[in-house]
């Protein structure tokens, strides 16, 4: 049988080898607690903005010691708003950041404990957190927890349309199309996600620096 989505993954990987190194922090296996928390925070900050702006907000949080979920829970919303304003949506994004931090701290204590939970259970819980939709939930699962949960984003649609292999525009349908033909492996999902972005934006525009 012909699997266009999988075949295009192999072809793009051949043209663009070693893309995981472009996102060294987000693709680390395994992740320590600090790195995993930074990825969660980054997943919120990058919503509907460029990574450049999200990174500036991450650095602002880092400079005051707030790359920590428990500290974020206990930080006044007005202070968070000031620190992450550059990431946009300053009326909602600080609340979203506190909501995901509160969910993790209250339910699991830390990422290491959260990691032990079932992926489908976690996805369902994440989708009930304020400001978390399919894309952000899957980003947290795939990149913070290293759990195979394929991300469907704007670059996915551009990629599929570029190679004329799109069969739907519905998130769940497309996610299942990818997951049904790819190896069930978080590194493969991470690699394909980055490949889609690099294929559309180019290598230099797709690089993600380390924030710690």
- For residues 67 and 41, is the Cβ–Cβ distance under 8 A? yes
**Concatenated DSSP letters of 9-78:** HHHHHHHSTTGGGGSTTTT-SSPPHHHHHHHHHHHHHTTTS-HHHHHHHHHHHHHTT--SHHHHHTS-HH
pLDDT band per the 50, 70, 90 thresholds, residue 168: confident
pLDDT at 156: 96
Rounded average pLDDT over 125-130: 98
Asked whether 210 and 58 are in contact (CB, 8 A), the reply is no
Is residue 91 pLDDT above 90, yes or no?
A: no
What CATH class has 33-144? mainly alpha
Per-domain boundaries in the chain:
4-25+150-206, 33-144
What is the spatial distance between Cα 51 and Cα 54, in angstroms, rounded to a whole number? 5
Q: How far apart are CA 95 and CA 15, in angstroms?
A: 41
Burial of 166 (0-12, 13-18, 19+ CB in 10 A): middle
Q: Does residue 2 have a pLDDT over 80?
A: no
**What percent of the chain is modeled with pLDDT above 90?**
94
pTM for this one?
Answer: 0.96
Instruction: Check residue 148 and give its pLDDT.
Output: 98
Distances in Å between the alpha carbon of 81 and those of 61, 133, 148? 11, 21, 32
């Amino acid at each position: 049988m012909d699997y266009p989505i999988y075949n295009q993954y192999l072809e793009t990987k051949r043209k663009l080898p070693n893309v995981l190194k472009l996102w060294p922090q987000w693709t680390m296996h395994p992740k320590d607690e600090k790195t995993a928390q930074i990825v969660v925070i980054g997943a919120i900050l990058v919503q509907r903005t460029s990574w450049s702006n999200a990174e500036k907000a991450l650095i602002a949080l880092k400079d005051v010691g707030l790359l920590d979920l428990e500290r974020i829970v206990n930080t006044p919303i007005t202070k968070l708003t000031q620190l992450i304003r550059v990431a946009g949506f300053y009326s909602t994004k600080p609340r979203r950041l506190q909501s995901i931090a509160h969910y993790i701290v209250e339910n699991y204590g830390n990422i290491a404990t959260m990691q032990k939970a079932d992926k489908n259970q976690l996805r369902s819980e994440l989708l009930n957190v304020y400001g978390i939709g399919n894309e952000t939930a899957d980003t947290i699962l795939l990149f913070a927890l290293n759990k195979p949960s394929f991300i469907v984003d704007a670059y996915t649609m551009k990629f599929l349309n570029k190679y004329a292999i799109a069969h739907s525009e519905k998130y769940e349908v497309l996610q299942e199309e990818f997951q049904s033909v790819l190896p069930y492996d978080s590194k493969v999902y991470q690699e394909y996600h980055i490949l889609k972005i690099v294929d559309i934006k180019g290598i230099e525009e797709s690089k993600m620096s380390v924030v710690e």
